[in-house]
Amino acid sequence: MESSSFLYSPLTLRGLTLNNRLFMAPMCQYSAVDGLVQPWHRRHYAERAVGGVGLVIVEATAVQPCGRISPQDLGLWNDAQTEAFRPLVDDAHAAGTKIGVQIAHAGRKASTYAWGPKSGAVPPEDGGWTVVSTGTAPFDPTYPVPVALTHEQILAVIADFAATAQRAVAAGFDTVEIHGAHGYLIHQFLSPLTNKRTDQWGGTAENRFRLAIEVTRAIRKVLPSTMPLMIRLSATDWMDGGWDVDQTVALLNILKTEGVDFADISSGGAVPGAKMTIGPGYQVPLAARVKRETGLLVGTVGLITETTQAESILASGDADVILMGRQLLRDPYYPLRQAPADHRNVPQQYKRAF
């Protein structure tokens, strides 16, 4: 790499070249109305785009109304939502930054309160709805009790993931990330802890993988051939008998042949009570194994807050990309302030400050 910095050197994903390898992790703002982008979202994402990340990934955006985590989630299931995203995407591009969107279905973790003082299931009188999952077990006793999806409803979920991806393309996004992590619907199908089905969508690994594979296949069909497709997976449930790195690798080796270009490796979220030790870069070893055993381009996320830390992860070959979440909430201009002078993507308007 001809650069003083791994983090601030460019990366090409399929036909998309990014200025650097520091991505903004998807982070729900729970500030939408009827799934529509609001002024808050435009300001929030534009700031991080000006701040010089390589890629902004817009928060979990629902493919169906019942797939929203909270009533305030963004959605991309109708034309009005597509139109409302357009100026937000244009703002990022005007700052010289690429932008993608994470598309999601929360399954049994839908219809919950975003912020306190109330928590758990949102009742219908407060805008809540009936949630769906692999079966009828709630995440925990405070969450909504789901209805088990029928075969036809699963096919509709797949079609709606594809329709949302198509809307993302229409809105001008540069890439799409499938949310397959954190105990949301796709992860509910993947994990043996949450998928007790006995039909073709549950049981064997092949059956549990099916939804993720079919969603990937359907999305790939509607994306331009030059547009990269990313997926976020929890690499482990941190629980005996649960989803683990071996299964993550097996799945990604299939998804690679279905046109996934990038794996964003996170962990946890399927079931309450998982035991994990959280500290700086605690998910890096998961990403490193996935990278080694799939050959995919891989991102790592989770308590990576310093440039030296990020550079050493990339230098050691454990990952290709660093995703930062909360650090960019604290400091949207982190990349501009930290990048070596010859790698800063400073907007013309601000050049006199750098």
Ligand X SMILES: Cc1cc2nc3c(=O)[nH]c(=O)nc-3n(C[C@H](O)[C@H](O)[C@H](O)COP(=O)(O)O)c2cc1C
Q: Which is nearer to ligand X, 251 or 304 (CB)?
A: 304
- Which one is catalytic: 8, 45, 143, 184? 184
Question: For residues 329 and 43, is the Cβ–Cβ distance under 8 A?
Answer: no
Q: Which residue, 82 or 102, is less far from ligand X as judged by CB?
A: 102
Q: Which is nearer to ligand X, 37 or 202 (CB)?
A: 37
What is the dihedral sign for C-alpha 325, 331, 333, 336?
negative
Residues at the interface with ligand X (CB under 6 A) = 25-28, 59-60, 102, 179, 181-182, 232, 266, 301-304, 324-327
Q: Judge whether 237 and 243 are in contact, CB under 8 Å.
A: yes
Query: Cβ 243 to ligand X, closest distance in Å?
Result: 15
Residue 252 Cβ, how far from ligand X at the closest point, in Å?
A: 16
- Residue nearer to ligand X on the CB measure, 177 or 244: 177
Please say if 184 is a catalytic residue: yes
Cβ closer to ligand X: 28 or 230?
Answer: 28
For residue 164, give Cα distances in angstroms to 4, 108, 197, 302, 336: 39, 20, 26, 27, 32
Q: Which residue is nearest to ligand X (CB)?
A: 325
Rounded least distance, CB 183 to ligand X, Å: 11
Output the smallest distance, CB 323 to ligand X, in A: 7
Least separation, in Å, of the C-beta of 100 and ligand X?
A: 12
> Catalytic site residues?
184
